[in-house]
């Protein structure tokens, strides 16, 4: 039996010998730079690889192949990206700045194609955006591709959007404007039109092993006993039948085939796709659907320990071959699970679905207990990591708070979600919201909510508090830490778009209601203060400017602040510089806070957003839905 150190040494020797056999030499500076990172990173990658794939006879051959393709990818990496690698190495925490501001859009819906998007770069820069997430833009099935989340080739841009060359050119333009490019790495599944999927469908055994395919219902039945249904409208359970009668795992739509990561060939192939993406000039990749990437019989097949090891292994590969590339996890699951992916060696950046959902929850209930509890309990993360705080994504709003947290406050999770769903889909009297229900599951009573921010906050319904509610929510996302994210179009109050019902590929998917085309007419009004878009835009710009000027909002340190008022949320941000107290009134009525609350603050503070000064020793009163950043 070899010791761990001996095994490592043997493996390293084997990998280097295999590379030498393939003609690899280490004599130029470029190869040496890789070799230095290999020497540092290999022990970790080996440990992960051995844990995941140690039982495969050819484990080391796969590992050698992986290192070989990483080296080749590094050697192909353009010089300007290597310069960026060095800059990021010198300042690894660059993304923690209060000057960071994220935004996302669909290329086609916002600008027609990649070249069209270039014309908007000056606007993005002017707005203060430093991080732009473009929704999936790679080759995918024509009619329904789940908004591009069914990828048919990771190496080809969807033809109506442009070419890989256009993508590289855009990435360059963005970088020159100080904007990092973010794209998805949809790595849990491919589309059924991917070359690998076509070969699997044709019965090729090598590629059948790239997916979870079974001859009959025996295994699918066994797995389905413990696996949840993510898209029950599309198909029951987790499997669909293939044309030849076999059954294939599809967590999402029937055309999104889950990759089989228990096969090391799949890991190596996908690592190659990831690195080729990195070399296009992508700064950050959004790791899609991370919770689902590993399966084991008898479990929920979500967030299994191996899912973490896989992400760490992908991360270790990047550290060698594309060192500046950062991972953002997309785990819209229980808060404990969300946090479990956040680690400098796994995903240093993560969506914050809990704060997002609970902001909406407090808006509906006018009560801040749950969000206050979450800030106290569930926001701290590793200091080198960051949340992405958002008001809404391109997806549904799911009520992913922990039932056990709610129970402590006397709230029954199931009933509360029913209330929230009814409220946001306008089935509750007096609701200001105009959302649509998504994926109602009669078996569990579960559903989620879709719509744009303006439609869900009451702007669409003409409710007098609509704009204030939008600013309240964005005021929280902009001040709660990490990287705030704007859904482009929200800054001018884009409304729900019901035209998806006429598109065969979208009609069954209510999430499209919240994915409107660029609202040109609203953008045209954005400088006119007599219009609704003009008012929203002016106030969003105020938030952006105030954030840029407040170093206390950098990083993620956040402390809850007890306002002793059920309607008013309070927290303190202590990034760099003097603290900022955030107070947010979720009620429709003015709310007074007692002077006793502010004995420890400066006697006089100023709202960094609107500039109003407050004498803290006399207490203060917030207007309905008002948010203050006191500094």
Q: How far is the CB of 114 from ligand GLC (least distance, A)?
A: 20
Among 138, 154, 252, 401, binds ligand GLC (CB under 6 A): 252
| Nearer of residues 63 and 103 to ligand GLC, judged by Cβ | 103
| CB 612 within 8 Å of CB 618 | no
| Nearer of residues 456 and 584 to ligand GLC, judged by Cβ | 456
Number of other CB atoms surrounding residue 86 within 10 Å: 11
Rule CB under 6 A: is residue 186 a binding residue for ligand GLC? Answer: yes
Give the active site residue among 330, 446, 497, 607: 330
d(CA 316, CA 604) in angstroms, rounded, equals 49
| Nearer of residues 447 and 568 to ligand GLC, judged by Cβ | 447
Q: How far is the CB of 448 from ligand GLC (least distance, A)?
A: 6
Residue 316 phi/psi, 5-degree rounding, is -65, -35
Reading the block at residue 599, the tokens are 């004995």
Among 141, 147, 264, 519, binds ligand GLC (CB under 6 A): 147
Rg (CA), the chain: 25
| Nearer of residues 253 and 539 to ligand GLC, judged by Cβ | 253
d(CA 563, CA 596) in angstroms, rounded, equals 10
CA atoms within 13 Å, Cβ hemisphere of 353? 23
d(CA 322, CA 278) in angstroms, rounded, equals 7
The tokens 């070989």 sit on which residue?
68
Rule CB under 6 A: is residue 512 a binding residue for ligand GLC? Answer: no
Bridging pattern class, strands 326-329 and 284-287: parallel
Rule CB under 6 A: is residue 451 a binding residue for ligand GLC? Answer: no
Range in contact with ligand GLC (rule: CB under 6 A) among 66-74, 175-183, 392-400, 579-587:
392-400
Fill in the per-residue mask, 344 to 383: x = in contact with ligand GLC (CB under 6 A), - = not in contact: ----------------------------------------
Q: Find, among 631, 623, 616, the residue nearest to 582 by Cα.
A: 631
Residue 229 is given by DSSP the state: P
Among 85, 229, 343, 396, binds ligand GLC (CB under 6 A): 396
d(CA 625, CA 42) in angstroms, rounded, equals 53
Which residues ranging from 77 to 116 are in contact with ligand GLC (CB under 6 A)? none
Rule CB under 6 A: is residue 448 a binding residue for ligand GLC? Answer: yes
Reading the block at residue 503, the tokens are 């598109």
| CB 498 within 8 Å of CB 513 | yes
Q: How far is the CB of 302 from ligand GLC (least distance, A)?
A: 8
| Nearer of residues 392 and 416 to ligand GLC, judged by Cβ | 392
Q: How far is the CB of 583 from ligand GLC (least distance, A)?
A: 32
Which residues ranging from 148 to 167 are in contact with ligand GLC (CB under 6 A)? 149
- Cα angle, residue 288 at apex, residues 61 and 493 outer, rounded to 5°: 160
| CB 289 within 8 Å of CB 183 | no
Residue 213 phi/psi, 5-degree rounding, is -120, 135
Q: How far is the CB of 301 from ligand GLC (least distance, A)?
A: 12
Q: How far is the CB of 328 from ligand GLC (least distance, A)?
A: 12
Rule CB under 6 A: is residue 257 a binding residue for ligand GLC? Answer: no
Q: How far is the CB of 450 from ligand GLC (least distance, A)?
A: 9
Task: List Cβ neighbours of 515 (8 Å cut-off, separation of 6 or more).
Answer: 106, 109, 147, 394, 497, 500
Q: Find, among 290, 282, 267, 266, the residue nearest to 322 by Cα.
A: 282
Q: Is 415 exposed, middle or buried (0-12, 13-18, 19+ CB in 10 A)?
A: exposed
Rule CB under 6 A: is residue 146 a binding residue for ligand GLC? Answer: yes
d(CA 159, CA 138) in angstroms, rounded, equals 8
d(CA 193, CA 191) in angstroms, rounded, equals 5
In order, the DSSP letters of 435-493 are: -EEEEEETTTTEEEEE--HHHHHTTTTT-TTHHHHHHHHHHHHTTSSSEEEEETTGGGT
Q: Clarify whether 330 is annotated catalytic.
A: yes
Reading the block at residue 456, the tokens are 């869900």
| Nearer of residues 289 and 368 to ligand GLC, judged by Cβ | 289
Give the active site residue among 288, 343, 396, 446: 288
Which residues ranging from 267 to 326 are in contact with ligand GLC (CB under 6 A)? 288-289
Q: How far is the CB of 395 from ligand GLC (least distance, A)?
A: 4
Range in contact with ligand GLC (rule: CB under 6 A) among 65-73, 141-149, 194-202, 214-222:
141-149
Range in contact with ligand GLC (rule: CB under 6 A) among 112-120, 144-152, 356-364, 494-502:
144-152
Rule CB under 6 A: is residue 446 a binding residue for ligand GLC? Answer: no
Range in contact with ligand GLC (rule: CB under 6 A) among 33-41, 54-62, 146-154, 192-200:
146-154
Q: How far is the CB of 394 from ligand GLC (least distance, A)?
A: 6
| Nearer of residues 413 and 619 to ligand GLC, judged by Cβ | 413
By CB under 6 A, the count of residues binding ligand GLC is 14
Q: Clarify whether 216 is annotated catalytic.
A: no
Query: Could you give the residue numbers annotated as active site?
Result: 288, 330
Name the residues that contact ligand GLC, by CB under 6 A: 146-147, 149, 186, 230, 252, 288-289, 330, 332, 395-396, 398, 448
């Amino acid at each position: 039996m070899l010791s761990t150190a001996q095994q490592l040494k043997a493996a390293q020797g084997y990998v280097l010998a295999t590379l030498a056999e393939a003609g690899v030499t280490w004599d130029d500076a470029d190869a040496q730079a890789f070799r230095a990172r290999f020497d540092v990173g290999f022990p970790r990658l080996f440990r992960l690889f051995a844990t995941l794939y140690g039982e495969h006879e050819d484990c080391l051959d796969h590992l050698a192949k992986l290192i070989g393709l990483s080296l080749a990818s590094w050697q192909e990496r353009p010089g300007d990206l290597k310069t960026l690698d060095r800059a990021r190495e010198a300042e690894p925490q660059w993304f923690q700045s209060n000057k960071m501001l994220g935004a996302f859009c669909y290329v086609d819906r916002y600008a027609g194609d990649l070249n069209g998007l270039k014309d908007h770069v000056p606007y993005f820069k002017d707005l203060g955006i430093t991080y732009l997430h473009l929704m999936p833009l790679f080759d995918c099935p024509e009619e329904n591709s789940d908004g591009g989340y069914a990828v048919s080739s990771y190496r080809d841009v969807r033809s109506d959007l442009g070419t890989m060359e256009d993508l590289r050119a855009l990435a360059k333009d963005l970088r020159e404007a100080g904007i990092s490019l973010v794209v998805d790495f949809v790595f849990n599944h491919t589309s059924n039109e991917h070359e690998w999927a076509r070969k699997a469908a044709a019965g090729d055994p090598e590629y059948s092993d790239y997916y979870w395919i079974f001859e009959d219902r025996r295994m699918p039945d066994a797995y389905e006993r413990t696996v949840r249904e993510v898209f029950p409208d599309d198909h029951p359970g987790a499997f669909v039948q293939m044309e030849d009668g076999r059954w294939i795992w599809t967590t999402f739509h029937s055309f999104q085939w889950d990759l089989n990561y228990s096969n090391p060939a799949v890991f190596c192939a996908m690592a190659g796709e990831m690195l080729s993406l990195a070399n296009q000039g992508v700064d950050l990749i959004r790791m899609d659907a991370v919770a689902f990437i590993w399966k084991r019989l008898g479990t929920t097949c979500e967030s299994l320990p191996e899912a973490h090891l896989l992400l760490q292994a992908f991360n270790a590969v990047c550290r060698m071959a594309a060192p500046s590339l950062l991972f953002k996890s997309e785990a819209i699951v229980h808060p404990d699970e969300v946090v479990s992916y956040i680690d400098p060696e796994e995903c240093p950046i993560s969506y914050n679905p809990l704060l997002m959902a609970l902001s909406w929850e407090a808006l509906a209930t006018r009560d801040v207990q749950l969000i206050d509890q979450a800030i106290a309990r569930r926001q701290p993360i590793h200091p080198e990591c960051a949340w992405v705080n958002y008001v809404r994504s391109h997806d549904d709003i799911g009520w992913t708070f922990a039932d056990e947290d709610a129970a402590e406050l006397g709230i029954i999770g199931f009933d509360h979600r029913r209330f929230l769903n009814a409220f946001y889909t306008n089935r509750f009297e007096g609701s200001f919201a105009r959302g649509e229900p998504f994926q109602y599951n009669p078996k569990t009573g579960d559903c989620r909510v879709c719509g744009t921010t303006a439609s869900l906050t009451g702007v669409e319904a003409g409710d007098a508090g609509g704009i204030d509610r939008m600013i309240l929510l964005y005021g929280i996302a902009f001040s709660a830490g990490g990287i705030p994210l704007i859904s482009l179009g929200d800054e001018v109050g884009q409304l729900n778009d019901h035209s998806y019902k006429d598109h065969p590929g979208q009609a069954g998917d209510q999430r499209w209601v919240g994915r409107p085309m660029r609202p040109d007419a609203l953008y045209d009004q954005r400088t006119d203060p007599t219009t609704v878009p003009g008012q929203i835009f002016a106030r969003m710009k105020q938030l952006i400017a105030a954030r840029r000027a407040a170093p206390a909002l950098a990083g993620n340190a956040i402390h809850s602040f007890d306002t002793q008022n059920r309607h008013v949320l309070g927290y303190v941000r202590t990034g760099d510089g003097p603290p900022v107290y955030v107070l947010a009134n979720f009620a429709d009525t003015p709310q007074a806070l007692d002077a006793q609350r502010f004995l420890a603050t400066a006697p006089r503070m100023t709202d960094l957003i609107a500039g109003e000064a407050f004498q803290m020793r006399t207490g203060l009163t917030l207007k309905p839905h008002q948010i203050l950043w006191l500094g």
